[in-house]
Amino acid sequence: MAQRSLRSRVVAAAGEALARQRSVTPVDVCLGLGWLQQVNVDDWRHGRVDDLEYFLPVHDSRLIDLLAYLQEWAGQRGLERAEAEYVSAGRGRRQLRFLADGTPARVEAAWRVRWTSPDLDDRGRERITKAQDSAPDLLVILPLKDFTCAECQGTGDMLIMDEPGPLCLGCADLDHLVFLPSGDAALTRRAKKASGLSAVVVRWSRSRKRYERQGLLVEEAALEQAEQQCLADEDVRMRRRDRDQERRAAEDVELQASMAIQIRRLFPRCPPGRAEAIARHTSLRGSGRVGRSAAGRALDETAITLAVVASVRHEDTAYDSLLMSGVPRDIARDQTRPVVDRVLADWS
């Protein structure tokens, strides 16, 4: 029973990831299962732990089962297999480990597999590979209190975490960069593109309990070039923003209407108005929901079904109350699945 439950949860998590981003990895499945949070993955990518297993709540055969169920599901779907790159955000860009030292190499290698949709063209596959395999940005921290550099024993206004410990920008060879505060997207984009070396600057927010972006460190010549480019086409960019805003608004209305039609086609007894509400919610621009994924915008049946499932889970079950009472997400989903299945059957 436990194995069947884990298999179904792995399949569901993998399906959601594939619908959202046209690819899926074991890490994506762990996020979908609730075994990992994105902050855990970020800490791992920035070298704050030796291996990703440090954050996993299970350390037994279930990790092997997860890989086996994912491979079985991917084979049944005809997904294409490739090896993903995972390197740290530190200066050394070292290869990251998934499991603790002593794990067989073949098991460690299985965690690096990425499964992609077979209907992707070469350009789409290249885009996914570039986005997922790119090394994370170097991360520089604006500390809330004084620190001691692990190399020179001095201090400074900013630090970067490295294997020896916190380093000042001088010891990290970043002191020639200049700070560009957040706020101007075009200037930031152009300065980063022109800069051979750059780093994201963050500060810890005590109220929100997370690091928040403050700006970039870039080469001074790159910043000057970007400033000149922005001054030269400021009027053009302003007119383009206005046109783009109108175009996006019209596209959003059209997408919502098409999604509502697809929802009613898949679930003809969906209550009046509910299909439109689901379509508006899942297709909200910038939300990161399944309706904004490539599959969602293409009105893929799996993606649309996942959007309906999410709506039913939140609106027609006690799922949110279970989460508020401290029940883990995967357990809450298991407990509410019978209600979700019944509602979907009534709507079909």
| Per-residue pLDDT reduced to its tens digit, 194-233 | 998 898 899 988 887 778 899 999 999 999 999 998 888 8
What does pTM read for this prediction? 0.55
In degrees and rounded to multiples of 5, residue 83 shows phi and psi of -100, 125
pLDDT at 93: 67
Residue type (1 letter), 317: T
CA dist., res. 340 & res. 293, Å (int): 23
Residue ranges in the chain whose pLDDT is less than 70? 1-4, 89-93, 131-135
Cα separation of 152 and 209, whole Å? 30
Residue with the two structure tokens 């086996």: 68
Block residue for tokens 């706020």: 183
Domain boundaries, the chain: 1-134, 137-232, 235-347
Determine the pLDDT at residue 1: 43
- Answer whether 128's CB lies under 8 Å from 22's CB: yes
Residue 90's pLDDT is: 65
Checking 307-311 for CB contacts under 8 A at 24+ apart, the result is 307/259, 307/263, 307/278, 307/279, 307/281, 307/282, 308/263, 308/266, 308/267, 308/270, 308/278, 308/344, 308/347, 309/340, 309/344, 310/282, 311/274, 311/277, 311/278, 311/281, 311/282
Q: Residue 201's beta-bridge partner residues?
A: 140, 215
pLDDT of 343 reads: 95
Mind listing the pLDDT tens digit for each residue in 241-296? 778 888 888 889 999 999 999 999 999 999 989 999 999 999 998 888 888 888 88
Under 8 Å between Cβ of 47 and 89: yes
Using an 8 Å Cβ cutoff, are 312 and 274 in contact?
no
Q: What is the pLDDT of residue 260?
A: 94
To 5 degrees, how large is the angle CA 106–CA 107–CA 111?
110
CA of 79: how far to CAs of 50, 301, 328, in Å? 31, 17, 30
